[in-house]
Structure 1
Amino acid sequence: MKETKLQNRAAGALMGAFVGDALALGPHWYYDLAELRRDYGEWITDYTAPRPGRYHAGLRAGDSSQAGYLLALLLRSLVERGGYDQADFCRRLDEELFPLLDGTPMAGPGGYTSQSIRDAWRRRVQRRLPWSQTGGHADTTEAIERTLALAVRYARDPARLAATIAANTHLTQIDDTVVSMTVAYGAVLGLLVQGHVLDAGLSATLMGLVKSGELPFHAVTAEGLKPPHPGDPEPPRAGNFASPDALLTPSYMAAAAADPGIRIEPAWKVSLVYGMPCAIYHQLPAAYYLAARFHNDFEAALLHAINGGGQNQARAILTGALVGAQTGLAGIPRRWLDGLSDGPALLKLALGLAARVGEP
């Protein structure tokens, strides 16, 4: 395949997510930073194996968690089907994931199964509900961690990006705010794959897509968030997210990262500023901040993401995709690509999807 800059950014986003997932496998979910430093030293710089009795225990350095497993599952579906086929993806969940689960947290591929997947398993397997009724109310980034592949595939088609991400998210999470923030992240990633930079002006570009009807967010303001003009009709709400605020967050984080009067030092303390927990409203601001501050330094962005503790795996996946899209595949350290378990197979999938960006 003759690689283009677009394809390089697309592959960088996908491999950035896989690398972020694996980097956080060992030090995942340490909320006591003193304990994290005792177990892994003052500064983690590479893949590490989980300690006995911890999350993902028994896996090796460089392995993927279940988030990486699910991302690869969706990637294979996208590559083999040529685009998003929800029935095919659901079949893969039924046949390749759910038989490996038992409804408890510390089981399944990757050594841990998240709340949203456990809820979907119970509804689908135990209660035999259709896929239209499997979504739950987890307020986490778990849908983003797989649907970032859809953001890459449809980076040049914002309307389809939003529709496919919303549909896939609803399989496991149905809270409107979570869905809107998930779609917003995908819209940001899509622009970065196109070649935009995560900066203070990116949200204006996203709002332009809202005004043109390409992104389904409700907005009443005029350009530049000015008041609506007298006589302007109320925009239709059917099918729209309640507000465009999830699209505004990234540029506020980028502005903070660029403002010399606002410094988070060292940058790993972003976890203390925005919060260590799993909820999407803690994770996205931290990922946007790191991805804006280190937009051309993949290694620095990821190391600060994982060394902040807490839910550093989600933080690293989200940051890895955003920065990988900006640096491209070439910006990811070679040692991390080489040290990733099943790295060649994952890279082949990433390049296969990257080759389809822009196709109908």
Structure 2
Amino acid sequence: MTISKKERAKGALMGAFIGEALGVGPHWYYDLEEMRAEYGEWIDDYTEPKSDRYHGELEAGEISQPGIILKMMAEHLIENDGYDQDAFCKMMDQDFLPEISGKAMAGPGGYTSQSMRHLWRARVEKELPWDQVAGNADTTESIERNIAQAIFYADDLESLSLNITANTALIQSDNLIGSLTVAFSSVLAFLIQGESLDPEISTKLMQAVDQGKLPFHKVTSGDLNQPPKNNMVKESDLYGEGMFASPDALLSPSYMARAAQDKEIVIEPAWKASIVYGMPCAIYHMLPAVYYLSARFKDDFEAGVLHALNGGGQNQVRTMLTGALIGAQVGFSKIPRRFIKGLQQKDELLALSDKLAKKV
């Protein structure tokens, strides 16, 4: 059965909200024995966070700060019929920054990320202009909110890459973070278009580079062979040298998909992908596990997000991003109803997802 783009788009956004909310209870347990003692051998639903943990004041099924910022970005895109950087900055200044402080354990959702703490200090304490506030956090924070942009611009990779690059650079200064963020967003856009997270996806992404739709450096010829002898790329050529140093961020998804399909590569149970690729917050730990689980469980939303969740560590982001990628592959109707029913603000989030999906 063919799944419509709107169904995939809604599945991606709701999958992200569900994954983020699933992580609220057992978030950031690096001692898996401690997590199992608190929540049992297998977490299979929303859970109440412990009062002394990161999201202690929230209830089971609530979204925390990453979900709140994603919601704000989706609302911004709908209201402005696309990304407007000046309007985004104004929204953050007026609606978000007054709600947080430089403290980690404060603000909506109970915990404020490194990126947002740095932003608050730069904008509120130091009163710096927006073009001087980016920090060096190596996390997935920009990917998380830009799930909404990947959905909105799913059929326009050039606008997707330029707008997401601009939005990422506002808050995270590392060019590599920008590269990985645009790559993940491009994968999500391809899945909404109807592609599969399989070993061929990177070839299709590289074709978009050849077509000038994605701003990655590429000198090699097809299949990463040597370039033609007379090849000369001008540094001023945006889609020759590219904004990003190499296309490797676009190649990773296929390797993870191959690992998921290769019978000689065994990660059992699948939640141990968090140990193989790493449990910490850094983007280079998160994305390989997310791609692996999203490829392995591309037809099974429940299994994918629960294995992401039960791997511990930064399981909230792992589950949020996995939920987005699998939600886009299976479509909203294949997300188990209990995950919808147990989600706080479900009516508001469903209405928002419908509105954003109509923009695809």
Distance 2:285 2:342 in 1: 29
User: Who is 1:333 aligned against?
Assistant: 336
In the alignment, is residue 197 of structure 1 matched against residue 193 of structure 2? Answer: no
Which ranges of structure 1 fall in alignment gaps of 5 or more residues? none
In the alignment, residue 12 of structure 1 is paired with which amino acid? G
Shift, 1:80, TM fit: 1.3
Q: Which amino acid aligns with 2:189?
A: G
What residue number does 1:322 align with?
A: 325
Amino acid at match of 1:188: V
Deviations along 1:34-63, one digit per CA (max 9) or x if unpaired, are 000000000000000110211110100000
| Alignment correspondent of 2:109 | 110
1:339 is displaced (CA, Å) by 1.1
TM-score under structure 2 normalisation? 0.97
Q: In 2, distance between residues paired with 1:295 and 1:310?
A: 23
Please report how far the alpha carbon of residue 132 of structure 1 lies from its aligned counterpart in structure 2 after TM superposition: 1.3
| C-alpha separation in 2, matches of 1:328 and 1:183 | 22
Of 227-236 and 158-167, deviating more is: 227-236
Secondary structure, aligned partner of 1:170: helix
Partner amino acid, structure 1, of 2:197: L
Cα contact 1:210–1:216 (8 A) shared by 2: yes
Q: 1:346 aligns with which of 344, 349, 352?
A: 349
Q: What TM-score, normalized by structure 1, do the two folds share?
A: 0.97
1:60 maps to which residue? 59
1:295 paired to 2:298: yes
In structure 1, the residue corresponding to 2:109 is in which secondary structure?
A: helix
Equivalence for 2:223 = 224
Q: Secondary structure of 1:291's match?
A: helix
Structure-to-structure mapping, 1:161-176, within 5 angstroms = 161-176=160-175
Find the counterpart in structure 1 of residue 118 from structure 2.
Answer: 119
Partner of 2:34: 35
Alignment correspondent of 1:128: 127
The one-letter code of the counterpart of 2:34 is E
2: CA distance between counterparts of 1:259 and 1:26? 33
Query: Which ranges in structure 2 are unaligned for 5 or more consecutive residues?
Result: none
SS at match of 1:109: coil
Native 8 Å contact 2:22 2:309 kept in 1: yes
Alpha-carbon distance in structure 2 between the residues aligned to 1:337 and 1:149? 19
Structure 1 position 338, deviation (Å): 1.4
Q: RMSD of aligned C-alpha atoms?
A: 1.2
Q: Which residue of 2 aligns with 1:16?
A: 15
Q: Partners of 2:290 and 2:244 in 1: how far apart? A: 22
Deviations 1:191-249 (A, max 9, x none): 00000000000000000011111100001110111111111223546552000000000
Write the distance in 1 (CA, Å) between the matches of 2:181 and 2:66.
15
- Relative to structure 1, the CA distance from residue 195 to residue 4 in structure 2 (aligned partners, 3 Å threshold; closer, same or farther) is closer
Aligned equivalents of 2:267, 2:354: Cα separation in 1:
35
For the 8 Å contact 1:220–1:235, the answer to whether it is kept is no
Q: What does the per-residue CA deviation read over 1:126-169, in whole Å, with 9 as the maximum and x for residues that have no partner?
A: 11111111110000001100001101100111110001111111
Question: In the alignment, which residue of structure 2 is the partner of 1:144?
Answer: 143
Q: 1:270 aligns with which of 268, 273, 279?
A: 273
Q: Closer, same or farther in 2 for the Cα pair 1:285/1:4, shift >3 Å?
A: closer
1:340, 1:99 → 2: CA distance?
26
* Cα pair distance change 1:305/1:235, threshold 3 Å: farther
> How do residues 62-81 of structure 1 correspond to structure 2 at under 5 angstroms?
62-81=61-80
CA displacement at 1:275 relative to structure 2 = 0.1
CA distance in 2, matches of 1:252, 1:235: 30
- Alpha-carbon distance in structure 2 between the residues aligned to 1:331 and 1:133: 43
- Aligned residue for 1:248? 251
SS at match of 2:244: coil
Tell me which amino acid in the other structure corresponds to 1:146: R
C-alpha distance in structure 2 between counterparts of 1:4 and 1:204, whole Å: 23
What displacement does 1:4 show? Answer: 7.2
1: distance between equivalents of 2:285 and 2:354?
A: 31
- Distance change (3 Å), C-alpha of 1:197 and 1:235: farther
Greater mean deviation of Cα atoms: 91-100 or 40-49: 91-100
After superposition, the Cα gap between the structure-2 partners of 1:133 and 1:281, relative to the gap in structure 1 and judged at 3 Å, is same
Q: Is 1:261 equivalent to 2:260 in the alignment?
A: no
Preserved contact between residue 120 and residue 171 of structure 1 (Cα < 8 Å): no
- The residue that corresponds to 1:95 in the other structure is 94
What letter corresponds to residue 345 of structure 2 in structure 1?
D
- 1:160, 1:235 → 2: CA distance? 22
Distance 2:28 2:152 in 1: 30
Alpha carbons 2:3, 2:331 under 8 Å: kept: no
The 2-side partners of 1:82 and 1:332 are apart by 27
Kindly indicate whether the alpha-carbon contact (under 8 Å) linking 2:221 and 2:227 is maintained by their aligned counterparts in 1: yes
Q: Which amino acid aligns with 2:232?
A: P
Aligned pair count reads 355
In the aligned structure 2, how far is the partner of 1:344 from the partner of 1:81?
A: 22
